[in-house]
A and B are shown apart, each in its own frame.
Chain A
Amino acid sequence: MTKLLATVTKELLLLRRDRGGLLVLFVMPAVLVLVITLVQENVLKTVGESETRILLVNSDDGELGELIERKLQDSGKLTVHKHIEEGDIDERQAAAAIARGDFQFCVVLPQGLTQAVRRKARQTVRESLSLAPETGEQPVAAPVIRIYFDPAVLGGYRSAVRNSLQLMVYGIEVNEKMVALEELLPKKISATLQKEMGDFMPEAFTLPPAEFQMDWSDSPLLAFEEAAASTGRDGPTPTSVQQNVPAWTLFGIFFIVLPLAGSLIKERRDGTFFRLLSMPVPIFTLIVGKIFAYVLVCLVQIIVIFCIGRFGLPLLGTPSLDMGPQLAAIVIVALSAVLAATGYGTMLGTVLRTYEQASVVGPISVVIAAALGGVMVPVYAMPTMMQKISVLSPLSWGLDAFLDLFVRGGNLQTVWPEIAALLSFFIANLAVARIYFLRRTQYKG
């Protein structure tokens, strides 16, 4: 135990003095998480995958303006702002704010909207029932709701926004027409009866207003549902923070391969390893001590980056990292991923002969595994073929497990295949390292 502790202490001391290594282990992933999350957060906003900030200029003083505002707020993905810098805004100021990119789009409700819609509805229904116009009634023009889009908002998302607003307006329209129909239908029936019955019609006869059930939205005539076209990674998609924080954390911990493999190669190159072999300590203790030290460093790395996601990123305007309630499962996934990374580093440090080889093979293989594993582009956004290949990457196993826990409501039971894969990867790498180590001690001269 003393020998193991001595090895762990020595490794931590060496790591503390390796400024380049610390930079790779802590600063690089932290900066990557910050930069990529902020960049992707903006991209997601332009395609509507992230919470969208919109501006509402409500010049209407009636119920419909309030109704539209409420529906926008209840949509879930929109944050509705009605003021800029503490003051009310007009259409011109709103257009300028959109042009600056402060908001993704703006909805302008004109003055007198409610009144105009109701008059128009009444007029339309009256015309459709062929009722005589009311005294002094002038034709009413349909009021216009204007939308301003940030130029960065992409076409597909613009269409989706337009269609949603159209649908909302259509609902209001149907409702207002029904209100008008409630009032005008009895008049039409009375007029028809008067015409057909002539003098038989009692003079004082009037029909009461029709009372329609107006909760149309609760009883749709047709429904639709979205179905998965293929089996695989379906379900909720993560926010940019939930995607990027675990993704770049895994990238960062897999970069441990460079200092770890480098330290093994340096020990061999400097002859220290030869000295260690002549000492009364099992090689197992030396390797476990080294791995243990690097595992500790990686765990600190994970805590730091998750804290950045939880507390740092929200200060820059992104959502906070939501890790879900499965803390124990998160720790086990993190530990498995760290072991997989250290196992890979140990294998590279044993198989490769020079530091130069490790400094090329290590980072390149990690970058490839990261790209395949969905670190750079989420796996759900990859072509089907790449999605199939992505299952080969240990970073994909780690990321999938984290996303299961953070986004998809998973628990230890749902992520155990990924944990098993990561631990198997660790063991397989150590087995390869052992084979090469035995070969090398046979051959050493």
Chain B
Amino acid sequence: MTADATEANDNSKRALEAKPPLTVMNLVKVYPKSSLPALQDLNLVVGNGEIYGLLGPNGAGKTTAISIMTAGLLPTEGRVEIYGLDVVRHRSRVKQLIGLVPQDIALYPDLTARENLSYFGKLYGLSGSELADRIAETLELVGLTGKADQVVKTYSGGMKRRVNLAAGILHTPRLVFLDEPTVGIDAQSRNLILEKLSSLKSSGTTMIYTTHYMEEAQQLCTRAAVMDEGRVIEEGPPASLIQKHPDCGNLGDLFLKLTGKNLRD
């Protein structure tokens, strides 16, 4: 790369970083054959280096919101910008900037962890020694270096979750969407994942985080939005939210207060 090209690239990076990582404006999503909207006038702005929690019961619209934000689904109305780029119009560029850790174990169970990461890395444009180094780093980060050449279907639930996380951060994205990354795993694996997310946060990565575990959100998130029926009903830093509701001792109490105790299916 020439000096001019490097400078142009740096300028472009700086220009991007000047914009907020995520801006959601008046987002509405109505599924066909559905009487209720999955998202109703959702508005969010997430700043650099934040871990923004999207909290809500089942069916609150968290996964729909993440699907639209990661260009996997078209909104009915409104728009999403990633570092100032419209997600619908600049899909390709946006996808270079984001990472996704889906709720499902989105891996090929018949491939090894290394083969999975290698494939996903190549799709992100990594190759050669850069790819090999990134695979080694992420495997070390999630504590799976020793088991990297074992097929994923032989892993425990916690190990699969860790590879799932590794695949989402392999290409060092600026903005990572994590959809329930610790669901259904043992305390040790969850603790390790939370530790790694904290270290990512300290390296400046912005994260959008959905979870059912309120203590996780309280521990990790700089800000959180409580969602229900497709809209945000409360938003702010966890401590401020709890302060705002003196009858609630923690985020869990607040969550139940805001969303009710009825079962959601």
Contact = CB atoms under 8 A, between A and B. Distances in A.
B106 A444 contact: no
Contact of B104 (A17, A18, A270, A276): A270
Contacts of B31: 443, 445
Given A10-B111, A13-B111, A280 B67 contact: no
A279 B123 contact: yes
Contacts of A444: 67, 72-73
B31 to A, nearest CB: 6
Nearest to A276: B123
B122 A278 contact: no
Interface in A330-375: none
B70 A278 contact: yes
A9 B74 CA distance: 31
Contacts of A274: 67, 72, 100, 102, 104, 106
B127 A275 contact: no
A2 B74 CA distance: 28
Given A274-B106, A443-B31, A3 B111 contact: no
Interface in A394-444: 441-444
Contacts, number: 97
B226 interface: no
Interface string B230-263: 0000000000000000000000000000000000
B227 to A, nearest CB: 14
Given A10-B119, A13-B115, A445-B38, A275 B106 contact: yes
B123 A280 contact: yes
A278 B100 contact: yes
B96 interface: yes
B96 A280 contact: yes
Nearest to A277: B72
A271 B95 contact: no
A7 B123 CA distance: 8
A265 to B, nearest CB: 14
A14 interface: yes
B32 A443 contact: yes
A164 interface: no
B98 interface: yes
Interface in B141-168: 151, 167-168
A35 B55 CA distance: 62
Nearest to B118: A6
A290 to B, nearest CB: 12
Interface string A84-110: 000000000000000000000000000
Contact of A272 (B74, B108, B151): B108
Contact of B92 (A14, A272, A280, A443): A280
A281 interface: yes
Contact of A278 (B98, B119, B125): B98
B110 interface: yes
A275 B108 contact: no
Interface in B44-98: 63-64, 67, 70-74, 92-93, 95-96, 98
Interface string B167-186: 11000000001000000000
B103 interface: yes
B209 to A, nearest CB: 16
Interface residues of A, number: 27
B107 interface: yes
B105 interface: yes
A7 to B, nearest CB: 8
Interface in A251-292: 270-272, 274-282
A271 B104 contact: yes
B110 A18 contact: yes
Given A10-B119, A442-B73, A270 B125 contact: no
A279 B74 contact: no
B122 A3 contact: yes
B43 to A, nearest CB: 20
Contact of B107 (A7, A272, A441, A445): A272
B204 interface: no
Contact of A442 (B74, B95, B118): B74
Nearest to B99: A278
Contacts of B29: 445
A10 B168 CA distance: 18
A176 to B, nearest CB: 79
A281 B122 CA distance: 10
Nearest to B173: A278
Given A276-B123, A280-B123, A442-B74, A271 B105 contact: yes
A16 B208 CA distance: 37
Contacts of A278: 70-72, 95, 98-100, 177
A423 to B, nearest CB: 29
A18 B110 CA distance: 8
Contact of B102 (A2, A17, A275, A443): A275
Contacts of A442: 32, 73-74
A271 B102 contact: yes
Contacts of A277: 70-72
Given A274-B67, A278-B177, A280-B93, 14 more contacts: A2-B125, A6-B118, A6-B119, A6-B122, A10-B115, A14-B110, A271-B104, A274-B100, A274-B104, A275-B120, A278-B72, A280-B123, A441-B74, A442-B32
List 9 A-B pairs, minimum CB-CB distance, nearest first: A271-B104, A6-B122, A271-B106, A275-B106, A280-B95, A278-B100, A278-B70, A277-B72, A17-B110
Interface of A: 2-3, 6-7, 9-10, 13-14, 17-18, 270-272, 274-282, 441-445
19 contacts: A6-B123, A13-B110, A271-B104, A272-B106, A272-B108, A274-B67, A274-B102, A275-B100, A275-B106, A278-B71, A278-B99, A278-B100, A279-B123, A279-B124, A280-B95, A441-B72, A442-B32, A442-B74, A445-B73
